[in-house]
Amino acid sequence: MLFKIGSEGNEVRLIQSFLKKLGYKVDVDGDYGEQTKTAVVAYQKDKGLSVDGEVGDKTLTSLAKDGFVLSEDRGAAVSSTLTKAFIKDLIETASRYENFVEIKSNAEWDDSDVFGVQKKESDYIKGYMNKVVGWSPGAPYCAAAVGAFITISLEKNKISPEKFLSLWTAHVMTNVRYLHNRHLISITPSLGSVWLARYGSTDSGHTGIVIDIQGDNIITIEGNTSQGATSDPSKQRSGDGFYKRKFQKYGRGLLRTQGFLSAENVLKFFVS
């Protein structure tokens, strides 16, 4: 394993964070640039190592002796700085599509003039939704939208979404079972968490991103929902666009909350 100029990601961020803890001057940004190389050179000199400014096996062994842990499961340890940045980007990304309205049923957005929806934005978000396992335009898209929001936010933080995209599907209850089996679901919402709900007694569900918490109420951004209250239960999870919804954390209508996947757990268990 070798980290050098040009390397990036959470492992680089962990190395930077540890060097900073040891007193070396380095920004914790996940980019292995000249500043990180300078800090590594200083560390190597202090430890009597060969000086090349790269973190290879010998430097990693020395760091480990000082208490550094580089998990084999990338993302199994994440810094609070990264978590905060990811949550911020996730909420901003989800909020960017509030009031984004379908032109045809179920994500067939193809008219750049209707409701002010821009063709560029439509193509952008649909391109990411197409990466979610089990989704294609014309199918229910709440989980595909959440997958797109998370993927975009991971990439903004220079983290590979490959593992997340290999495990997250367009079927909410499949995701719920997977997360439950791995004890990744919390009963408590947190900012940037994924809200997961079951629709009545069916194997269908619904999902969205928690962008605010107000007492026992949560505020989400959801795809494939309706704006405001509706007496039609089906429109709780099959509407005409992306909307902000406010409701009790236990659920709404026939949608009963199954739990929340925290942003931190996304980083810990779904990053490759």
Average of pLDDT values for 43-66?
Answer: 91
The C-alpha torsion from 89 through 90 and 95 to 96, rounded to 10°, is 60
> Which range has the top average pLDDT, 10-14, 17-21, 246-250?
246-250
Question: CA 267 to CA 177: how far, in whole Å?
Answer: 19
Which residues have a Cβ under 8 Å from the Cβ of 86 and sit 6 or more positions away? Answer: 153, 154, 157, 159, 192, 263, 266, 267
Give buried/exposed letters for 237-252 (b at 16+ CB in 10 A, else e): bbbbbbbbbebebebb
Domain ranges of the chain: 10-65, 80-269
The model's pLDDT over 151-189, given as tens digits with 9 standing for 90+, comes to 999 999 888 898 999 999 999 999 999 998 888 889 899
Amino acid letter for position 231: S
The dihedral over CA atoms of 99, 104, 110, 115, expressed in degrees to the nearest 10, equals -40
The CATH code of the domain at 10-65 is: 1.10.101.10
Give pLDDT, residue 78. 64
| Other CB atoms within 10 A of residue 216 CB | 10
Output the pLDDT for position 110.
Answer: 45
Predicted confidence (pLDDT) per residue in 81-111, tens digit: 888 999 999 999 999 999 887 765 544 544 4
Tokens 């001057």 belong to residue: 25
- pLDDT tier for residue 77 given thresholds of 50, 70 and 90: low
CB neighbour class for 148 (10 Å; exposed up to 12, middle 13-18, buried from 19): buried
Query: ∠ CA 242-267-142 to the nearest 5 degrees?
Result: 20
Cβ-based neighbour number of residue 119 at 10 Å: 12
Distances from the Cα of 266 to the Cα of 54, 57, 232, 240, angstroms: 29, 28, 33, 28
